[in-house]
């Protein structure tokens, strides 16, 4: 396993989605590699805070266990940082990520180590099914690293995450 993924293929003309962006914190970093940033969150209040940062072209209220309110193949990258522990239906969620990514697009996420390692709610198995069915390739499953090391609660500060990076498959060339 590698600790960090290779340099992104996103460019200054790329479109990226920051799903469940938790008030736009990860969007600020994504803006450096994307010309157009679209945010989604289940909380209208969090979306209001994110909109106030003036970095999102669009924002949408969305539930990751349901269909995403975006067109097919519209994103060069999808980021999901610090929220996959709330997903109940990884078959639905990861299927939607595949649907909205362009061929060759990247899905970059963090997930709590124990939830990924123990395959809670079928998270790892669903990701592996997409690899086995050649819908995407696994680029990186990172080594465990601290999730919230500065949190004063010892239980919270002890939690670890893994960085996950997948690339949507490109169509096979016609013979």
Distance CA 46, CA 33 (A): 23
Task: Kindly give the residue spans of alpha helices, DSSP state H, lying in the chain.
Answer: 25-30, 44-52, 90-100, 113-117, 123-132, 154-157
How much is the pLDDT for 35? Answer: 65
Q: Calculate the dihedral angle through the C-alpha atoms of 96, 97, 101, 103, rounding to the nearest 10 degrees.
A: -100
Mean pLDDT of 72-100: 94
Distance CA 19, CA 81 (A): 8
Give the range among 5-9, 66-70, 94-98, 154-158 with minimum mean pLDDT: 5-9
Mean pLDDT highest for which of 24-33, 41-50, 69-78, 117-126? Answer: 117-126
Helix (H, G, I), strand (E, B) or coil at 106: strand
pLDDT digits (tens, 9 = 90+) for 5-37: 333 444 434 555 555 444 445 666 666 666 688
How much is the pLDDT for 2? Answer: 27
Radius of gyration over every alpha carbon of the chain, rounded to an integer in angstroms:
16
What's this model's pTM, rounded to 2 decimal places?
Answer: 0.83
Neighbours of 61 (CB within 10 A): 12
């Amino acid at each position: 396993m590698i600790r960090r993924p290779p340099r992104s293929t996103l460019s200054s003309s790329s479109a990226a989605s920051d799903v469940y962006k938790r008030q736009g914190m990860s969007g600020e970093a994504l803006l450096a590699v994307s010309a157009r940033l679209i945010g989604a969150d289940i909380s209208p209040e969090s979306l209001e805070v994110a909109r106030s940062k003036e970095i999102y072209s669009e924002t949408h209220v969305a539930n990751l266990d349901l269909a995403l309110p975006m067109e097919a193949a519209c994103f060069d990258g999808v980021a999901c940082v610090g929220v996959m522990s709330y997903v109940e239906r990884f078959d639905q969620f990861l299927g939607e990520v595949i649907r909205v990514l362009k061929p060759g697009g990247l899905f970059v996420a963090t997930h709590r180590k124990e939830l990924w390692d123990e395959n809670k709610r079928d998270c790892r198995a669903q990701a592996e099914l997409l690899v086995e069915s050649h819908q995407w390739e696994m680029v990186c499953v990172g080594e465990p690293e601290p999730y919230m090391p500065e949190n004063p609660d010892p239980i919270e500060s002890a939690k670890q995450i893994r960085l996950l990076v997948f690339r949507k498959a490109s169509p096979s060339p016609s013979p």
